[in-house]
Chains A and B, each alone.
Chain A
Amino acid sequence: MQERIPVTEKEVNEDLLKPVFTTPIWWWVAVAVMATGVAAAAGAAGFMFVNGTGVEGINRPVMWEFLIVNFVFWVGISHAGIMLSAILRLTQAEWRRPATRAAEVMTIFSLGTAALHPMMHVGRAWRIYFEFPYDFGRGIFPNIRSPFVWDPSAIFTYLTSTVLFVYVAMLPDLAIARDRSTGWRHTMYYVLAMNWRGTPRQWHLQTVAGILLSSIILPIFASVHSIVSWDFGMAIAVEGWHSTVFAPYFVIGAVWSGVAGVITLLALMRWLFSAQKYIRPEHFDGLGRLLSVVGIGWFYFTMMEICFSLYSLEPSEIAFRHLQLMEWPFNMLFVLFVTTGFFIPVALFMKKSVRRNVAAMFWISIFVNIGMWLERYMIIIPGLMRKTGLPFSWGSHSPSPIELIIVTGSFFAVALGLLVFSKFFPLIPLSDAKEGEVLRAEIQVGKVRVPAIVRE
């Protein structure tokens, strides 16, 4: 760990609270741009509500479209939160420290954005409450056999637990911010910090809560994207979807795209918040090593899924795969998808010099997510275009500007959420950074330097 720059607690406080207490020009510019994008998407969604869902490119066989592709994409991105915070926390991976909060906050915003998509996508959005298990005097409970009832349950469970997780982990930082702020900000932090004073009992409770929440959140890790995959796996009429491999395939794909999203975010934080002292090449190295394993596992599932379906030699399955792999424009998109989603990233992650190069990691992580967006597109849209049996009713598809605006706007919405969050709360956890420093501290014993604290 030669590149580690020792920092004092005072430095940690000043460096990491700087983005919270000072507002550079670029922040206002970025917020203005993002807000414009979100407003455009909101306008497009409003246009859709007023005129009907027909303003999307949907047609008879292709009833689900970009909004659902994007929904799956954002739910996938949100999986990084659990991966980094819960799994790496429980496995005591030290390098996770500066990345945890960013990953969790990205989870919150991407999951919130994802949850908006099905609500926009339904034909009568003003009746979306029919899906929730609350009576409203209708006398009809939702159909719990439907994956569309499992979806909101999984997503809202995940959203709630992540918000709790972020909040519990942020309590000490809120207290520091409380002690260093004045005016309405002080009042806000005062209320949010819930009388945190840093007493041993409070630290003990906070640590226990963190460990408990990480273990409780783990089943959600397996369940959320599995349930999203069952939206497709349960559909017997669509050959390309009706597959038992979908649950693990989607979960590992979610980790692949989510952790790549965290790399993008960390690189941006390193540049924008000048956090070079805290987000170091070793973190990109660790994430890159994690991702090379995940990426290879994910690619195995991708190939297995294609092999299994071709093995059955069913005419409708062959027709779907022919469209997906051989016909324009999907053949081009498939090549783009495996290149950006697998071959470029995994090949480059193998090299240590690439893993430690922040700019390279930034661009590779963007490539991964281009590939992963295309992956969902390649499953959902060609699948619907070649549904079971009746070739007379096979379809085609072209997206409409409205949904392209909404899809683009969703990226702006997540970015806007993160920007605003970074203005009120530190995106790199102060207490975690300090804990990392303490754990790394070394003392001189005779002629050797040994770790000051031994972890069991």
Chain B
Amino acid sequence: MITPRIPHKWGMVVDIDRCTGCQACVIACQAENNIPINTEDRYIQRRAIEWIRIERYWEGVEEAVKTGDPSLVKARFIPVLCQHCENAPCEPVCPVYATYHNNEGMNVQVYNRCIGTRYCANNCPYQVRFFNFFQPVWPESLYNQLNPHVTVRTRGIMEKCTFCIQRLRKVERKEVKEQKRISDAEFDSASGMYGPACVRACPTDTLVFGDLNDPNGRVAKMAKDERGYQMFDRLGTEPNVIYLKKVDLHASESAHE
């Protein structure tokens, strides 16, 4: 007998108010997903691979220069990862179907099919698709730490955030065995066992992962928060990553107009 699967729609809530820009998520993702080490010259060449990155913006620099008060400068952090758009711009442009939408609301990349036209990367408004310009290499001692559950990519192909699909597969096997939906607490950075690496590593609970189909789940509830928004919703990409905007008590009224 085939046991039916529970229909999921995986999503993430990013509470920008909580982000301290510590980059623990970036490192966790790096270790989990066999991403080659980003050296300094990779950053200078703008070829670093970071499936999740912290975008850092300085706010109030002009005012600080004008008034001479450095305390007016504020650092703003936005973790940006693949938004797993429902209406993803990267999907229709791939000539070989290397990227497509699976029935769990995720945008997945098939490395074997990818020929590296890089069209998807051009058409991604969030710039979260990364190209392997050269064959990725690690220091000799690090080959044994590669995650056996994740493909090591070759050169000439695209890669991007998978919501740690290898961990979600584990969740689904457990669900099929127990025949009940796994609660969002299992993905929690504090108590859970299964969340994506970035979520598990986040010390401030900025990143919250879960099933948007579960009405009682934490993510589904947080997604309805009045601070919630989708990045670039004007483009109509309908991302499954929902941002909660920053609450800034000190900001002047005019800054939000």
Q: A149, B125: Cβ atoms under 8 Å?
A: no
A401 CB–B CB distance under 8 Å: no
Is B141 in the interface zone, CB < 8 Å from A?
A: no
A residues in contact with B216, CB < 8 Å: none
Q: B60 near A: Cβ within 8 Å?
A: no
- Residues of chain A in range 90-124 having any CB-CB distance to chain B below 8 Å: 118, 121-124
Interface size on B, residues (CB 8 A): 42
The answer to whether B115 and A131 touch across the interface, beta carbons within 8 angstroms, is yes
Within 8 Å CB of A124, what residues of B? 114-116, 155-157
Q: Chain B residues with Cβ under 8 A from A286's Cβ? A: none
Over the window 154-168 of chain B, the binary record of Cβ atoms lying under 8 Å from chain A Cβ atoms (1 yes, 0 no) is 011110000000000
Interface string of A61-100 (1 = CB under 8 A from B): 1011000000000000000000000000000000000000
| C-alpha spacing A35/B95, complex, angstroms | 34
Residue with the highest number of chain B CB atoms closer than 10 Å, among A118, A131, A145, A237: A237
Q: Identify the interface centre among A118, A146, A395: most chain B CB within 10 Å of its CB.
A: A146
Q: Nearest-CB distance from B38 to chain A (Å)?
A: 12
Please name the residue on chain B nearest to A144 by beta carbon: B95
Q: Are B115 and A127 in contact (CB under 8 A)?
A: yes
Chain B, residue nearest A65 (CB): B118
Q: Is B103 positioned at the interface, with any CB of A under 8 Å from its CB?
A: no
B229 within 8 Å of A (CB atoms): no
- Shortest Cβ distance from residue A142 to the other chain B in the assembled complex, whole angstroms: 5
Give the number of chain A interface residues (Cβ < 8 Å): 43
A122-B116, A124-B156, A392-B55 known; A52-B135 Cβ under 8 A: yes
B138 lies within 8 A of chain A by Cβ: no
Q: Which parts of B106-137 form the interface with A (CB within 8 Å)?
A: 113-119, 121-127, 130-135
The yes or no answer to A134 lying at the interface (CB within 8 A) is no
Question: A436 contacts the other chain (Cβ, under 8 Å)?
Answer: no
A131 and B93 CA atoms in complex are apart in Å by 12
Secondary structure at the A interface, as helix, strand, loop or mixed, is loop
Residue of B at shortest CB range from A234? B93
Asked whether A64 lies within 8 Å of B95 as measured between CB atoms, the reply is no
B116 and A238 form a contact (CB under 8 A): no
Q: How far is the CB of B26 from chain A (nearest CB, A)?
A: 14
A395 touches B94 (CB 8 A): no
Question: Which residues of chain A come closer than 8 Å to B45, judged between CB atoms?
Answer: 59
B47 at the interface (CB under 8 A from A): yes
Contact flags B140-158 to A (C-beta < 8 A → 1, else 0): 0000000000000001111
Given A123-B131, A390-B127, verify A148-B93 contact (CB < 8 Å): yes
| CB–CB A60/B47 < 8 A | yes
Within 8 Å of chain A (Cβ to Cβ): is B173? no
Cα separation A219 to B159 with both chains bound (whole Å): 39
Which residues of A, 200-229, contact B by the 8 Å Cβ criterion?
none
B94 proximity list for chain A (CB < 8 A): 143, 146, 148
How far in angstroms is the closest Cβ of chain B from A325? 22
Chain A residue numbers with a CB within 8 Å of B132 are 52, 123
B119 contacts A236, CB within 8 Å? no
> How far does the Cβ of B57 sit from chain A's closest Cβ, in whole Å?
6
Task: State the Cβ distance, B234 to closest chain A Cβ, in Å.
Answer: 9
Closest to A49 in B: B156
Chain B CB within 10 Å — which of A52, A53, A123 has the most?
A: A123
Chain A residues contacting B158 (CB-CB under 8 Å) are 123
Residues of B within 8 A of A146 (CB): 92-95, 119
- What would be 20 A-B contacts, judged by CB atoms less than 8 Å apart? A52-B134, A52-B156, A53-B131, A53-B155, A54-B155, A59-B47, A63-B131, A121-B117, A123-B155, A123-B157, A124-B116, A131-B115, A140-B97, A145-B92, A149-B95, A237-B125, A389-B125, A389-B232, A392-B55, A393-B55
Question: Shortest 6 CB-CB distances between A and B: which pairs?
Answer: A123-B116, A123-B156, A54-B133, A59-B46, A148-B95, A63-B118
**Interface residues, chain A, CB within 8 Å of chain B?**
51-54, 58-61, 63-64, 118, 121-124, 127-128, 130-131, 140, 142-143, 145-149, 231, 234-238, 384, 387-393, 395-396
